[in-house]
Structure 1
Amino acid sequence: MKKSLKNFSLKSLLLLAVVAVGMVSCSDDENNPESEGKANLRVSMTDAPGDYDAVFVEVVDVMIQTDAAVEGAEGEGEGAEEGWVSVGDVQTGVYDLLELTGGVSQVLADTEVPAGYVSQIRLVLGTDNYVVIDGEEEPLSTPSAQQSGLKLQLNQELEAGENYSFLLDFDVDKSVVTTGNGGKSLKPVIRLSAEADAGMIVGAVHPTEFRSLVTAKNATTTISAYTDANGEFALKGVPAGTYQVSVTPDVAAGLDVVFEDDVVVEENSTIDLETIFLE
Structure 2
Amino acid sequence: MKRLYFLLSFVLLLLIASCKGFDDSPKALVNVLLIDAPAEWDSVIVEIRGVELDFVPDAREGTVEKIFLPYEPGDKEVDISQLVGGTALPVARSEMHMGQISGITLRLGTKNALYLDEDRYPLDLPGGNTDYALPLSLDLEQGISYDLILDFDLEKSIQVVNSSPLELDFNPTLSAFSGVGRGDISGTTSPTSIKPAIYAIQADDSTSTHTNSSGTFLFRLEAGTYKVYLDPKNSSYKDTLLNVEVKAGTTTTLDRITFSKK
Residue aligned with 2:25, SS: coil
Q: How far, CA to CA, are the matches of 1:150 and 1:141 in structure 2?
A: 14
- Deviations along 1:189-218, whole A, 9 cap, x unmatched? 012121132111112223334333332211
Going by fraction, where is strand more abundant, 1 or 2? Answer: 2
- Deviations along 1:219-242, whole A, 9 cap, x unmatched? 15423332233332222x211110
How big is the shift at 1:109?
0.8
User: Which residue is equivalent to 1:78?
Assistant: none
Aligned mate of 1:42, from 17, 25, 31 = 31
- Structure possessing the higher radius of gyration over alpha carbons: 1
Q: How far, CA to CA, are the matches of 2:206 and 2:41 in structure 1?
A: 19
User: Which residue is equivalent to 1:133?
Assistant: 116
1:111 aligns with 2:100: no
User: Which residue is equivalent to 2:223?
Assistant: 240
Residue aligned with 1:47, SS: strand
Q: How far, CA to CA, are the matches of 1:37 and 1:273 in structure 2?
A: 41
- Deviations along 1:146-178, whole A, 9 cap, x unmatched? 31x111100222223321111111111221245
1:260 aligns with 2:242: yes
Q: Taking structure 1 as reference, are residues 212 and 44 closer, same or farther at Cα in structure 2, changes over 3 Å only?
A: same
1:65 aligns with 2:54: yes
Q: TM-score, normalized by length of structure 2?
A: 0.81
How big is the shift at 1:38?
2.8
**Contact 1:140/1:184 (<8 A) preserved:** yes
Q: Taking structure 1 as reference, are residues 167 and 269 closer, same or farther at Cα in structure 2, changes over 3 Å only?
A: same
How big is the shift at 1:22?
7.4
1:55 aligns with 2:44: yes
User: Which residue is equivalent to 1:212?
Assistant: 196
Q: How far, CA to CA, are the matches of 2:117 and 2:128 in structure 1?
A: 29
User: Which residue is equivalent to 2:79?
Assistant: 96
Matched residues, number: 254
User: Which residue is equivalent to 1:75?
Assistant: none
- Deviations along 1:67-118, whole A, 9 cap, x unmatched? 249x7xxxxxxxxx97322035645711112111222211101211333122
* 1:140-155 matches, cutoff 5 A: 140-143=123-126, 146-147=129-130, 149-155=131-137
The letter for the 1-side match of 2:229 is S
Residue aligned with 2:254, SS: strand
**Contact 1:87/1:112 (<8 A) preserved:** no
Residue aligned with 1:67, SS: strand
Question: RMSD value over aligned CA atoms?
Answer: 3.3
Residue aligned with 2:255, SS: strand
How big is the shift at 1:135?
2.3
Going by fraction, where is helix more abundant, 1 or 2? Answer: 1
Q: How far, CA to CA, are the matches of 2:159 and 2:211 in structure 1?
A: 25
Identity score, percent: 26
Q: Taking structure 1 as reference, are residues 88 and 125 closer, same or farther at Cα in structure 2, changes over 3 Å only?
A: closer
User: Which residue is equivalent to 1:273?
Assistant: 254
- Deviations along 1:33-88, whole A, 9 cap, x unmatched? xx33432111111111212222111111200112249x7xxxxxxxxx97322035
Gaps of 5+ in 1: 72-80
1:197 aligns with 2:186: no
The letter for the 2-side match of 1:273 is L
Q: How far, CA to CA, are the matches of 2:193 and 2:212 in structure 1?
A: 10
Q: Taking structure 1 as reference, are residues 273 and 19 closer, same or farther at Cα in structure 2, changes over 3 Å only?
A: farther
